[in-house]
Amino acid sequence: MFNVVKFDVGQFSTFRLVCKEWNKLSLPVWRKNAELVLHEEHFDDDNFLTSVGYMTLLESPNDSYQLKRLPFRTYKIHNSNLDFVNEDVFSFWKKIGTLMWHLCLDMCTFKTSEDFRKIVFELTPNLESLELYANRFTEDRPSDKAIRLDPTRKEHLKPINIQKNLKKFHADLETAYDDDDDDNSTDFDSDYILPTTWMELFVHFPKIDGISLQSITNEDGESIEELVEFLKSMEIIRDNVGSEYFAKLKLLDVFEA
């Protein structure tokens, strides 16, 4: 029954409370579909689970929480400082990254662009979907548009690791504009622009079939120019890397880009 019923968090929460047998039978479906939200260490509320706390649960004796036997597959990493100089951060991604099928990075801060690349291109090889929401990057992509669209650049031709399972990609950079409290004006903040070029990003995803973009802008705060660059990147990849790229694309949603 639990494999037939459409998954709903509220409904399955009720199923698990019926009895021990129902909890046992519904647990695999729950772990496969429920989203696990992990927050940064500075949250004091006991209701928030941190990555370090989750690792502690995962390594509990005899797998008492069954997290090894039945791992979560959908993760939302919220408001976290993703700096691989921190051994706890690197250890988390090295151990948990392979378990992830669906990943949302939400309002995170990346110390280096290489940390972003490691997470997206190397440490999460089984991803089926990737969502990026208002993350902050302390390193910029190349400022020269000609370089960003150069098909001869190594990172545009030779991906670090092909993500053959990734089908869905969504990027929302909605806080690329920050309100100035002093004069009620709105100033552009380029720290929210992805640290990779569109070509470098999508050359890793040859099987992608759904892309949605929202509030994307270039270094000058221009959304139309950034959208044109994104579409041009798709064309260059198809022409110079392989015609298999975007061949299965069913959804391209740039209405709010």
Domain ranges within the chain, ordered by starting residue: 1-33, 39-176+185-256
How confident is the model over 5-24, as a mean pLDDT? 65
Whether the per-residue pLDDT at 10 is higher than 80: the answer is: no
| CB contact set of 197 (below 8 Å; sequence gap of 6+) | 141, 142, 148, 149, 155, 156, 233
Assess contact for 207 and 164: CB atoms under 8 A.
yes
The fold adopted by the segment(s) 39-176+185-256 is: 3.80.10
How many residues appear in the chain? 257
Residue 22 vs residue 101, higher pLDDT? 101
Dump pLDDT digits (tens) for 82-95. Answer: 999 999 999 999 99
pTM to 2 decimal places: 0.87
64: Cβ contacts below 8 Å, ≥ 6 apart: none
Q: Return the percentage of the chain with pLDDT > 70, whole number.
A: 84
Give the per-residue pLDDT at 185: 47
